[in-house]
Amino acid sequence: MVNQLGFASGPDRHCLASSRFAALVNATYLIMTPAVVPDLDIDTNRVRLNRYRHVLHETMRVFAGWLPRIARFELKCEAGRTIWENSLHVNALYLRLREIQSPAFQAPADPALLRLTAELIHAPDEQGLARAYYGVVAPSLIAALENHETATFPNSDLPSVRALRHILLDLRAEQERVRPLLAEAEEAGRVTARAHTWENHITRLLAAAGGIAGEEKRGDDPAACPAGLEFTPPREAARDERFTTLGADLAAMPAEDEHAAHTEEEFERYSTEVLAAETVAVVIYHVRGMPWEFQLDAARHLYDEIRHALMGYEWMRRRGKDPFRSPQYTHILKWRCQFPPAVQYCLLTMGNEVHAFPYRHRRVEAHQRAGDRLSEQFVRYDIADETQHVRFGHRWLPELLKQSGDPRGVEEFTADCLRVWDQEYRTGRLTLNVE
């Protein structure tokens, strides 16, 4: 008998309750059949999780170093998203690893894997890097995670399983987005012989490491690849051939009471915020000793700026305008790159971002008066992001100063940076040293 609440009553209550509980447990907690026995012990588990973490972590820095150098706009945006999503994946693995090993971050004890991640940055060009990572490394990582998910103990190691499933969701979606970009580049003739040679080299390095998990039969350690080039951190921002105006100076915007003209310029400038992402990328690449939480925040900051640029592109395309014809202020990155990373970060967070709020709030009100909900919402999301970026600046500038050995206090340092920002950036009279 079953009562009105759906629970068994009378003589059947124990039998029905027991069977329902068993079904619930099997559905919820992934009870394995007796024939399926997990074989991934905890020691192997932590080694493999740490290998995945290492690959994702090092790739963040590789793409941060390359971001300004990548010219193709779609690939640049995808690289920025990879940095951010990899940071989320590293953090998920960090949270799990700190529960089963100490310290959580450890260099893998596999020279072949270390060589793979160390050499990845020396790709001959952006297509070589893209094909090596998205076409070789990422698929091996996906295969390793898929195997790990079913090989480990489903209950005892559920925290790992959950992390792996979320990482797989992002990595599979990334493959779907990137596959057409790689195919289009091949069809357009932008993939050089050197890029293919590099892709093959990374494939051999991966085989020598036994795959990302290290569990496959290992190949021979390959010789140095002649297609590789010693990586030099970029000091200038690359743009592809669709951009028609490079190195433009910031012109005066139409008056704010000329709403239509001013709004068009407002969102055209949003479309150039890739420059801010490239600045954060330069900082990430150059500061290796910062706490993990800084890297996580900076990766988010970086991709926020990519999203702001895409917001500008969306706004312009909705109105039939070509965002690739927008002036590109690429000399701003060259100007910032003359300064140490802490100064670059301060110029961006305490200069550009702190001082933008009064203007942004006026723009929200102007778009509300004009009944332009899309523009209003875009700017309000931007304000939310920039508020967080300023918090990042306040949180991490003291740590950046400590790491750099700068003797100034934060207030003095910030005031000195803002004098440079006010005298050069706001006036447009950027001093570029000739090397």
Per-10-residue mean pLDDT of the chain, 435 residues long, equals 48 57 54 63 96 98 98 98 98 97 96 98 98 98 96 93 97 98 98 98 98 96 96 94 82 91 95 96 96 98 98 96 92 95 97 96 98 97 98 98 94 97 90 56
Dist CA 405 CA 408 (whole Å): 9
| Predicted pLDDT at 428 | 84
| CATH number, position 347 | 1.20.1260
Dist CA 331 CA 335 (whole Å): 6
**∠ CA 11-12-18 to the nearest 5 degrees?**
130
Q: Is the dihedral of CA 196, 202, 205, 209 positive or negative?
A: negative
| Predicted pLDDT at 421 | 95
| Predicted pLDDT at 2 | 47
**283 lies in a domain?**
yes
CA 189 vs. chain centroid, Å, equals 27
Same domain, residue pair 198 and 54: yes
Boundary residue ending a domain (166, 191, 208): 208
**229 lies in a domain?**
no
Same domain, residue pair 48 and 190: yes
Same domain, residue pair 418 and 304: yes
Boundary residue ending a domain (176, 193, 208): 208
Same domain, residue pair 85 and 151: yes
SS3 2: strand
Total structural domains within the chain: 2
Same domain, residue pair 186 and 267: no
SS3 content of the chain, % helix, strand, coil (to 5): 70, 0, 30
Same domain, residue pair 198 and 263: no
Dist CA 103 CA 98 (whole Å): 7
pTM of the predicted structure, to 2 decimals:
0.91
| Predicted pLDDT at 6 | 45
**5 lies in a domain?**
no
**Structural domain containing residue 63:** 42-208
The Cβ of residue 404 has, within 10 Å, a number of other Cβ atoms equal to 15
According to DSSP H, which parts of 271-409 are helical?
A: 274-286, 292-318, 331-336, 341-346, 357-369, 373-404
Dist CA 435 CA 431 (whole Å): 13
Same domain, residue pair 202 and 112: yes
Same domain, residue pair 169 and 295: no
Same domain, residue pair 200 and 320: no
Same domain, residue pair 401 and 329: yes
| CATH number, position 196 | 1.20.1260.10
Boundary residue ending a domain (208, 238, 272): 208
